Structure 1
Amino acid sequence: MVGVETDTATPTVYDRYDTESIKKFRENGWWQDSSAAALLDRWADTTPTRRFVSDGTTELDYATVRERAHGLAATLAHRGVRPGDRVAVQLPNWAEFVISYLALARLGAVTVPIMAVYRHAEIAHVLRNSGAVAAITTGTFRGFDHAAMFRALQVEAPALRTLVIARGEAAPGELTFAEATATVPGPDELGPHSDPDTPHVIVYTSGTESTAKGCVHTWNTLDFSGRGLAHNVFQLTAEDVMFMPSPVAHATGLVVGVLVPLAVGAETHLLDVWEPNEGLRRIEKYRTTATATATPFVRMALDAAPEAKRDLSSMRFWLCAGAPIPETLALEFERTFTNGVLMPLYGCSELMAATCCHPGDPIERRAGSDGSPALDGIRIRLVGPDGEVGPGEEGEITYSGPGAILGYWREPERTAATIDSGGWHHTGDLGRFDADGYLRVTGRLKDIIIRGGTNISAAEIEGYILAHPDVSQVAVVAYPDERLGEKACAIVVPVKGAAPTLKDITDFLRLERRIVTQKLPERLVLVDELPMTATGKVQKFRLRELARGES
């Protein structure tokens, strides 16, 4: 049975932050008395005919989005959805996702976004953990029947009473998205806007290492990143068009693809299936100006650009997350996107934006670091076994500021293991600061090979191997060794037409990079592609199985 787990008290900002911190956040304007629905009202009143969202098949202005969001909110309320209830939304990058999110925000319900690639097992966990009472999904998308899956889950999850189907057929008792958004709410039926300090969204982690955790964000913790990125990093205006091929049902896509343009009354253009030629076509057609994706998207776009021959002059800003930006990639980007720059960002579902480079940072900074604290109000501290470490020393990256989650939904033990008594969020990532306060993420606490008692950073070795001319992508993982405990295995995606051997790689590392013998990989596996989560993170647990010869 999926069922509903026993409720625990809903986390509050006072569980997470002390009174002085909350006061400081408000005095500095990092937290405000607003809401996503109030922002929608603002733009629908002042610029009603400005296009807000497009997805290649649908184009909606601000007034129409509000009308449909309010209709959906009223329909869900009639079906018994109340403020604080959780509602799962599994939709591709379509306008219906934006409408659904804003409808739930207006109702005061909690959006539980689920990426379109997730299937029964992952969604069962999300439904069980969140206790969702309704779901908004689609019919058949990319050959998979999402509606049928939710019907099967509904049998196991009695709390899941309502299904809304977008771009698909509704079964008896269900609602199509069109009819659900057609309701006209009565005067004051939707009530006041929701409290910006109550749970607003629960974003589930991508599960690269363990069971996905539900990251509880308020409107204020999300808006801090969205509004801050819009004004201080993207420097967006209402004339900009955000391009979003990353899933809007996860952290990067939701914040950058929805909240950032909403902050300034701009437009967002969504792409439901990433294919580089189609992505470049959309950039040209919709004159998009900014985006944020995982690093592999950039590589694919650059590879496709010469043959595509598209006008990419509108793009001025591409925020890049999930992997370092080699200087060669940054230079190639600027040759292809002649008016644009490639900027690194480091963050996660728990914190959204933590560090990034900013307009004016030279290419050496953008290629040589993951930036400095992204926004005013963020503090980053690196901690070693004996406390805070100084410049040049490696330590765990910890975060303090207005953008962190309240905790993990219904998981107090995991919350307590992540957020210390001083309120610092421990990311599990390792990094080093340079003398100027720029961070370089160097790996993960769990992303270490312990060879004969020596800790070896997988990310460090990956950086060395990536410089080999025959290597396109690489991930380094541990595999067990009876004598040494662990050894390093390099999983390599070779450059097209190349087939490097283990000796090729180790000779390069020893002679060209001059690294110590203990850091050389002792096993090599060539693959066509690295297994990724939908947000572009390498699934290292799958690679460990491959390194052990289990798959």
Structure 2
Amino acid sequence: MTHPLHDLVPAPLRRAWAAEGHCPDIDLYTLFRAHRTAHPLRTAVVDARGETSYAELDSRARCLAAGLVEAGIRPGDVVGVQLPNSAAAVTADLALAALGAVALPFPVGRGSREARSLLGRSGAGAVIAAMEYRGIEHARELAELAGELPALRTVIAAGPGPLPAGCLSLAELLGAGQDSFTPERPHPDTAARILVSSGSEAEPKMVAYTHNALAGGRGNFLASLLTEGTPPRCLFLTPLASAFGSSGTAVTLARHGGTLVLLDRFTPEAALAAIRAHRPTHVLGVPTMVRMMLEQWEADPVPVDGLTALVLGGSALDAATQEEARRVFHCPVVNLYGSADGVNCHTGPARESVPAGGPGVVVGRPDPTVCEIRIAPLHGSASTGAGEILARGPMTPLCYVGAPELNMRYRTADGWVRTGDLGMLDADGTLRVVGRLKDIVIRGGANISPAEVEGELSSHPDVRDVLCVGVPDPLMGERLAACVVPRSGREITLASLCAHLDACGLERRKHPERLLTVAGELPLTPAGKPDRTALRERLAAASPSAREQTG
């Protein structure tokens, strides 16, 4: 049974944002349909199978919606979607929007344990899953789990191959006639999609978003990065099923009438080839992906141009990578601070002058058409101006799904979202993020912000990528470990890192005491974010004598 999705934002606020023009006040499928009517032959999706026009995509979506109705799916039902980046995933998004159902996308590659948790806690009645992806038979695994999930009535398998027992065929559902389907017109302030957090929690959080919050609040974020009058062509390096990927179907297509360029799996070679072949206006990814692309470009420096902006989120972007990316891609680099929980702020496409020095990472000025931001002081921090970052605005989600304890912990009575991040606002309104409450490493009773140390280490000439994590220690409670990807042909030592931090003026109590040298790249979660848990496990597996340097 689907859990009730209560709106924790006061209704008058929601209506005020719509009245002020911050939200289109139209459901996602109707928005998409308007672009299809105006430009039926415009390319909607470019994927591994070729190009799909707006008219073709709409026809497939309506056929699938009709097939889903025949399969017993009704408005308001939660439907899981575990598909790689493809026109099929976009078709599922639009079909569920047209049906008035609530989409719950989660990336391929996530195991059956996590899928069981997401589908069970959300009360999903159906799931659409890949027949096979990189050796994992998602549809078969989910069908075998159905007995443990009382609400799950239907598993739909997508892709070639023998149909697993207990599954319906997506291809057969697409055979339904679209003429038999009449789209629903859900209220734009009702749920359209559940976003899944990146997986840093023991169980990923699920956050319910309305049609207006996606097309309005999140749509306004992308609008601020567009060239007026030019529909965007967005290359998504992250999964459409991630929180970052929610700017795909709902925003790029339904809100802005643009084109999605999709890779079913990220590699730096494929990403650079897609930029050269398909000439996107915007590339959306995470800093680790761009560092890998820059290293690949050095090996094959074919010119890359035509981009309007490179939009990077998921983790802080260091100045060295930002300058190198500007030089190689010939476009502004936008550093995005955001999360599935309902927070968004970015540096914008123009290079703004930022005062030298100062704490934390500068992430731009909040946009009230997306969300406004305020700082809630913490006990004992009034003199520094730092506190927890709170957000509220047109993109604010309804609530957490199946987790009333999270609503109690992270939402206020007047609709604000507590982010769990530490930040401060400069006199001109610029937001600085100085750390994360739960990521603070406590060494012998003293607090260390990993983000602060990462920011300094990123300017080390031999460091390509870096992430800092706390590791348990019987004497001090925790010690800080630096997990470093060296630049090609360079060697990293703990002594060289600490000497660099000395030169930067960082207190010695904040220096890392462990070093994990990572070959190739930092591990990423299926959502494309750095995987801190995997790094902690590598550090724990290393013998004490090898912990200072291990690969």
Task: Compute the TM-score of the two structures, normalised by the length of structure 1.
Answer: 0.91
Which position in structure 1 is the counterpart of 2:428?
436
Amino acid at match of 2:80: A
Deviation at 1:515, TM superposition (A): 2.1
Amino acid at match of 1:509: L
Note the residue ranges of structure 1 that are not aligned, 5 or more in a row: none
- Change in Cα spacing, 1:502 to 1:322, as seen in structure 2 (3 Å) is same
- Change in Cα spacing, 1:312 to 1:236, as seen in structure 2 (3 Å) is farther
Of 112-121 and 207-216, more deviation after overlay is shown by: 207-216
Deviation at 1:70, TM superposition (A): 0.8
2:35 match: secondary structure: helix
CA distance in 2 between counterparts of 1:239 and 1:530 reads 34
CA distance in 1 between counterparts of 2:535 and 2:285 reads 23
Provide, for residues 31-79 of structure 1, a one-character-per-residue CA deviation record: whole Å limited to 9, x for no partner.
3331111012112211111111110213211111111111111111111
Which position in structure 2 is the counterpart of 1:361?
351
Contact 1:209 1:540 (8 Å CA) reproduced: no
Contact 2:107 2:527 (8 Å CA) reproduced: no
Structure with larger RCO (C-alpha < 8 A, sep 6+): 2
1:461 match: secondary structure: helix
1:201 match: secondary structure: strand
Deviation at 1:208, TM superposition (A): 0.9
Deviation at 1:363, TM superposition (A): 6.7
Deviation at 1:466, TM superposition (A): 2.1
Deviation at 1:527, TM superposition (A): 2.4
- Change in Cα spacing, 1:538 to 1:309, as seen in structure 2 (3 Å) is closer
2:506 to 511, 515, 519: 515
- Change in Cα spacing, 1:165 to 1:377, as seen in structure 2 (3 Å) is closer
Deviation at 1:343, TM superposition (A): 0.8
1:115 and 2:111 matched: no
2:469 to 477, 486, 491: 477
Amino acid at match of 2:5: P
Provide, for residues 428-479 of structure 1, a one-character-per-residue CA deviation record: whole Å limited to 9, x for no partner.
1112333322222222101112223221111111222222222222222223
Of 518-527 and 402-411, more deviation after overlay is shown by: 518-527
Which position in structure 2 is the counterpart of 1:350?
341
Deviation at 1:317, TM superposition (A): 0.9
* Mapping for residues 406-417 of structure 1, pairs under 5 Å: 406-417=398-409
- Change in Cα spacing, 1:310 to 1:137, as seen in structure 2 (3 Å) is farther
Amino acid at match of 1:251: A
CA distance in 2 between counterparts of 1:503 and 1:328 reads 21
2:365 to 366, 372, 390: 372
2:433 match: secondary structure: strand
1:57 to 27, 49, 55: 49
2:224 match: secondary structure: helix
Contact 2:371 2:396 (8 Å CA) reproduced: no
Deviation at 1:257, TM superposition (A): 5.8
CA distance in 1 between counterparts of 2:220 and 2:317 reads 23
Of 514-523 and 227-236, more deviation after overlay is shown by: 227-236
Contact 1:238 1:264 (8 Å CA) reproduced: no
Deviation at 1:210, TM superposition (A): 2.0
CA distance in 1 between counterparts of 2:472 and 2:257 reads 53
Which position in structure 2 is the counterpart of 1:223?
215
Contact 1:365 1:371 (8 Å CA) reproduced: no
Which position in structure 2 is the counterpart of 1:176?
169
- Change in Cα spacing, 1:64 to 1:499, as seen in structure 2 (3 Å) is same
CA distance in 1 between counterparts of 2:370 and 2:136 reads 44
Which position in structure 2 is the counterpart of 1:193?
185
Contact 2:82 2:107 (8 Å CA) reproduced: yes
Note the residue ranges of structure 2 that are not aligned, 5 or more in a row: 544-551
1:148 and 2:140 matched: yes
CA distance in 2 between counterparts of 1:11 and 1:387 reads 36
- Change in Cα spacing, 1:357 to 1:508, as seen in structure 2 (3 Å) is closer
Deviation at 1:389, TM superposition (A): 5.4
- Change in Cα spacing, 1:547 to 1:143, as seen in structure 2 (3 Å) is closer
Provide, for residues 16-44 of structure 1, a one-character-per-residue CA deviation record: whole Å limited to 9, x for no partner.
12243123212212233311110121122
Which position in structure 2 is the counterpart of 1:21?
13
CA distance in 1 between counterparts of 2:34 and 2:132 reads 35
For the aligned residues, what is the CA RMSD? 2.5
Of 460-469 and 538-547, more deviation after overlay is shown by: 538-547
Deviation at 1:306, TM superposition (A): 4.0
- Change in Cα spacing, 1:366 to 1:315, as seen in structure 2 (3 Å) is farther
Provide, for residues 59-105 of structure 1, a one-character-per-residue CA deviation record: whole Å limited to 9, x for no partner.
21111111111111111111111111111110000100000000000
Contact 2:93 2:249 (8 Å CA) reproduced: no
CA distance in 2 between counterparts of 1:300 and 1:236 reads 31
Contact 1:324 1:344 (8 Å CA) reproduced: yes
Which position in structure 1 is the counterpart of 2:6?
12
Which position in structure 1 is the counterpart of 2:122?
130
Which position in structure 2 is the counterpart of 1:213?
205
1:73 and 2:96 matched: no
CA distance in 2 between counterparts of 1:191 and 1:298 reads 40
Deviation at 1:520, TM superposition (A): 1.7
* Mapping for residues 273-288 of structure 1, pairs under 5 Å: 273-288=265-280
Amino acid at match of 1:359: P
CA distance in 1 between counterparts of 2:50 and 2:381 reads 51
Deviation at 1:311, TM superposition (A): 4.7
Contact 1:203 1:250 (8 Å CA) reproduced: yes
Provide, for residues 313-368 of structure 1, a one-character-per-residue CA deviation record: whole Å limited to 9, x for no partner.
22121111123333332222222222x211111100121x5101223333758996
Contact 1:53 1:60 (8 Å CA) reproduced: yes
Of 395-404 and 364-373, more deviation after overlay is shown by: 364-373
Of 253-262 and 409-418, more deviation after overlay is shown by: 253-262
Deviation at 1:142, TM superposition (A): 1.5
Contact 2:233 2:260 (8 Å CA) reproduced: yes
Amino acid at match of 1:383: A
CA distance in 1 between counterparts of 2:37 and 2:355 reads 42
Contact 2:83 2:107 (8 Å CA) reproduced: yes
Contact 1:277 1:308 (8 Å CA) reproduced: no
Amino acid at match of 2:463: V
- Change in Cα spacing, 1:90 to 1:366, as seen in structure 2 (3 Å) is farther
Which position in structure 2 is the counterpart of 1:328?
320
- Change in Cα spacing, 1:118 to 1:480, as seen in structure 2 (3 Å) is closer
Aligned length: 538
Contact 2:421 2:436 (8 Å CA) reproduced: yes
2:438 match: secondary structure: coil
Amino acid at match of 1:345: L
2:107 match: secondary structure: coil
CA distance in 2 between counterparts of 1:221 and 1:496 reads 43
2:52 match: secondary structure: strand
CA distance in 2 between counterparts of 1:359 and 1:526 reads 34
Of 99-108 and 493-502, more deviation after overlay is shown by: 493-502
Of 361-370 and 103-112, more deviation after overlay is shown by: 361-370
CA distance in 2 between counterparts of 1:258 and 1:242 reads 13
Task: Compute the TM-score of the two structures, normalised by the length of structure 2.
Answer: 0.91
Deviation at 1:269, TM superposition (A): 1.1
Contact 1:138 1:168 (8 Å CA) reproduced: no
